[in-house]
Structure 1
Amino acid sequence: MKRFRSMTYPYIAWIIAIIVAPMLLIVLYAFTTSGNSVLTFQFTFENFARFVTDKVFMDVLLRSLYIALITTLICVALGYPIAYVIAQRGGRSNTILILLITMPTWVNMLVRTYAWMGILQDEGIFNTILSWFGIGPVSMIHTSFAVILGMVYNFIPFMILQIHTSLAKMDKSLLEAANDLGATPVQAFLRVTLPLSLPGVISGITLVFLPAVSSFFIPKLLGGGQYVLVGNIIETQFLTTGDWNFGSAISLIMAVIIMISMWLTRKADIQVASQGKE
């Protein structure tokens, strides 16, 4: 037993180095103020008060939550039917479809976002196609539409895979029993398939909402710097203005929001699981 415990020490040290230590530094900077040359270790809420009391920053926070919510809803609306169709397939076709869904994730997300810049610009593919029908050019780049489209494209595979996993694990005999009891296909879906797939939907919501609310390079590239979200403010504070204290405070606020979101989704998942057992 001691031998196996000793084998965990390198992993514990690694976790401390890459997770615990950076988080402690963020907390330290968030609750301190910087002097001209040295860090003043003085407990203060000034950095948090600055963010909360500034209407511009609060508007950016609300915009980030709104964009993340819209992205999540679109991913659920598009991802569920796709996952359902894939789950109905068997054998080789199922594997091929899953492969097609996951293949874009093999390419770096930054590269994929750059590709959308070329597609959405005024001389891009979309406007070229529209010009064939005498429409356009339509300004799509550097808009909220472009930002949401980029987020949906990058994050929807996570939603599809989570829902597909729940649907694939579902006992098909339950649908047969529902049919034997006289349920229509719609009734069988609403009373059997949908409730059993909700854990996958909740997991997908977690995997989409959390990165969407903290994303910074998608709005930076597709929004052209004109569409600022919380992630962009944090990046600016650390890399441009050099105000690590304020940037750390914003990061801590976002960490709390993310933890609350995870707690709510986890609570919903437990309630869904308990209702399923009943």
Structure 2
Amino acid sequence: MTCFFLIPLLLILLVSFFTRSSFGGIEMPLTIENYTRFFDSLYIKILWVSCLLSLATTLLCLVFGYPFAYIIARSPQRYRNILLFLIIIPFWTNSLIRTYAWILLLRTEGVINTLLINAGIFEQPLTLLYNNFAVLVGLVYTMLPFMVLPLYASIEKLDKSYLEAAADLGAKPWQAFWKITFPLTTPGIVAGSLLVFVPSLGLFFIPDLMGGSKSVLIGNLIKNQFLTARDWPFGSAVSIILMALTLLCIVAYMRTTNDKQGKELL
């Protein structure tokens, strides 16, 4: 942790206070202008759109992932391993290659538009690529396994005797789900949400490939400052700000969840 996390983080923090040189390096004097510059309306809008897309990705992954995780956890043992295997299979292929596959599906002459036009549903191809919708599709597809696996672990460990007791007391299946299964699997929901929301903020290759120039998120901004604009101090400052905001969200989320669980126990 010291070698691969703490030292690089301290280096980024140190670089964020330097000044960009004329040739793209760093030089004195030390300044906080890199941080104050971020609060321009342009960069605030980029951060806001990034947070909205990450939140939408998290919610959609939860909506699609929870039923799938529930089905896996309640399936017979002989089918459970196969279903888990289907979740793990995408990790065998580079995510960049899988993103290009989505481009082939969503582009103007892609598979989806071709099928819709040939079926007579639309006369003109839909604009499915190079917008925030395409970015959202790519993020949900990439991050879905990170939601399913924690949910599965939480649902699989659930004591079925609680559900049996609820049934004996006259609770309907949907009542038992909302009052017992869902609350008791909150740790899996929290873990999955964090595993999806936090990485979604920093991913840059999906917005680059599927959003094009029309979709610039905070990850793209950081990447462009380091590789294109050669403004390492500002890129470092944006990275530190993003990390601090993410940490605050995690702390607030965890405290809220713990407070709710404590009140329920009381």
TM-score tier after normalising by the smaller chain length: over 0.9
For the residues of structure 1 that align with 2:21 and 2:117, how far apart are their CA atoms?
A: 57
Deviation at 1:109, TM superposition (A): 1.2
Give the secondary-structure state (helix, strand or coil) at the position aligned to 1:223: helix
Q: Is residue 26–residue 233 contact of structure 2 (8 Å, CA) maintained in 1?
A: no
Question: Which amino acid in the other structure matches residue 182 of structure 2?
Answer: L
Judged with a 3 Å threshold, the aligned counterparts in structure 2 of structure 1 residues 24 and 84 are, in CA distance, closer, same or farther, namely same
For the residues of structure 2 that align with 1:228 and 1:260, how far apart are their CA atoms?
A: 23
Deviation at 1:89, TM superposition (A): 0.6
Give 1:210's match in structure 2, choosing from 198, 214, 228.
198
Q: Is 1:255 aligned with 2:243? A: yes
User: Which residue does the alignment assign to 1:114?
Assistant: 100
Question: Which amino acid in the other structure matches residue 69 of structure 1?
Answer: L
User: Which residue does the alignment assign to 1:178?
Assistant: 166
For the residues of structure 1 that align with 2:6 and 2:190, how far apart are their CA atoms?
A: 27
Deviation at 1:253, TM superposition (A): 0.5
Q: Is residue 198–residue 272 contact of structure 1 (8 Å, CA) maintained in 2?
A: no
User: Which residue does the alignment assign to 2:49?
Assistant: 63
For the residues of structure 1 that align with 2:228 and 2:162, how far apart are their CA atoms?
A: 58
TM-score by length of 1: 0.89
Deviation at 1:114, TM superposition (A): 1.2
Q: Deviations over 1:90-133 (max 9, x none)?
A: 21111111111221122111111111111111111111211221
User: Which residue does the alignment assign to 2:83?
Assistant: 97
The runs of 5 or more residues in structure 1 that have no matched partner are: 1-14
Deviation at 1:41, TM superposition (A): 4.3
Q: Is residue 199–residue 272 contact of structure 1 (8 Å, CA) maintained in 2?
A: no
For the residues of structure 1 that align with 2:246 and 2:125, how far apart are their CA atoms?
A: 39
Deviation at 1:277, TM superposition (A): 5.0
Give the secondary-structure state (helix, strand or coil) at the position aligned to 2:222: helix
Higher relative contact order (CA 8 A, sep 6+): 2
For the residues of structure 2 that align with 1:35 and 1:99, how far apart are their CA atoms?
A: 51
For the residues of structure 2 that align with 1:267 and 1:212, how far apart are their CA atoms?
A: 22
User: Which residue does the alignment assign to 1:44?
Assistant: 31
Indicate the RMSD between aligned Cα atoms, in angstroms.
1.7
Question: Which deviates more from structure 2 when the two are superposed, residues 257-266 or residues 117-126?
Answer: 257-266
Deviation at 1:65, TM superposition (A): 0.5
Q: Is residue 58–residue 197 contact of structure 2 (8 Å, CA) maintained in 1?
A: yes
TM-score by length of 2: 0.93
Q: Is residue 80–residue 160 contact of structure 1 (8 Å, CA) maintained in 2?
A: yes
Q: Is 1:167 aligned with 2:159? A: no
User: Which residue does the alignment assign to 1:270?
Assistant: 258
User: Which residue does the alignment assign to 1:30?
Assistant: 16
Q: Is residue 202–residue 268 contact of structure 1 (8 Å, CA) maintained in 2?
A: no
Q: Is residue 26–residue 232 contact of structure 2 (8 Å, CA) maintained in 1?
A: no
Q: Deviations over 1:129-163 (max 9, x none)?
A: 11221124111110111000000000011111111
Judged with a 3 Å threshold, the aligned counterparts in structure 2 of structure 1 residues 31 and 227 are, in CA distance, closer, same or farther, namely same
For the residues of structure 2 that align with 1:195 and 1:231, how far apart are their CA atoms?
A: 34
Give 1:235's match in structure 2, choosing from 223, 243, 256.
223
User: Which residue does the alignment assign to 1:73?
Assistant: 59
Judged with a 3 Å threshold, the aligned counterparts in structure 2 of structure 1 residues 194 and 109 are, in CA distance, closer, same or farther, namely same
Give the secondary-structure state (helix, strand or coil) at the position aligned to 1:126: helix
For the residues of structure 1 that align with 2:26 and 2:135, how far apart are their CA atoms?
A: 37
For the residues of structure 1 that align with 2:180 and 2:76, how far apart are their CA atoms?
A: 20
Deviation at 1:272, TM superposition (A): 5.2
Question: Which deviates more from structure 2 when the two are superposed, residues 135-144 or residues 146-155?
Answer: 135-144
The runs of 5 or more residues in structure 2 that have no matched partner are: none
For the residues of structure 2 that align with 1:144 and 1:36, how far apart are their CA atoms?
A: 35
Give 1:152's match in structure 2, choosing from 140, 149, 158.
140
For the residues of structure 2 that align with 1:269 and 1:101, how far apart are their CA atoms?
A: 27
